[in-house]
Structure 1
Amino acid sequence: MNMKRTFGGVLLILGIIGIIWGAYAFLMGGDGVAVGQFTAAVPFIVGLIFFFSGISLIKTTKDEA
């Protein structure tokens, strides 16, 4: 398996976790996690960056036999 595709998969999973964590922190208003409501945007934005970077790596990397 190609190393770039593996790294893309890891970024994709980290992005999904970051998006879920940011959304949860925003909905809870910062009560359930260590961030406030407005700083909950930080893990959400980082999660989006990781998510789209992972998708891009997976899509653009060609398979080599």
Structure 2
Amino acid sequence: MNLKRIFGALLTALGVGALIYAAVVFTNTSGSNQDIKSLIIYGILGLIFFSSGISLVRTTKDES
């Protein structure tokens, strides 16, 4: 059981969730400042979590 791979998978799942939520906010937006701010925040956080999780899973070697 590799802790780095589990943490990478968790970060990836959080990133996907944030990107999906950003897409939902984008489809339901009315153009107010609050909608645009939340769209930008969740989109950027989703991209950061997703990319860091994927890179953590890819660079961790399987040692048993």
User: How many residues are treated as equivalent by the alignment?
Assistant: 61
**Length-normalised TM-score, structure 2:** 0.87
The alignment-based identity, stated in percent, is 46
Q: Cα deviation per residue 1:9-61 (whole Å; 9 max; x = unaligned)?
A: 0000000000000111011006xxxx833111111110110000000000000
Amino acid at match of 1:25: V
- What is the Cα-based RMSD across aligned positions, in Å? 1.5
Query: Which residue is 2:50 aligned to?
Result: 51
Query: Which residue is 1:63 aligned to?
Result: 62
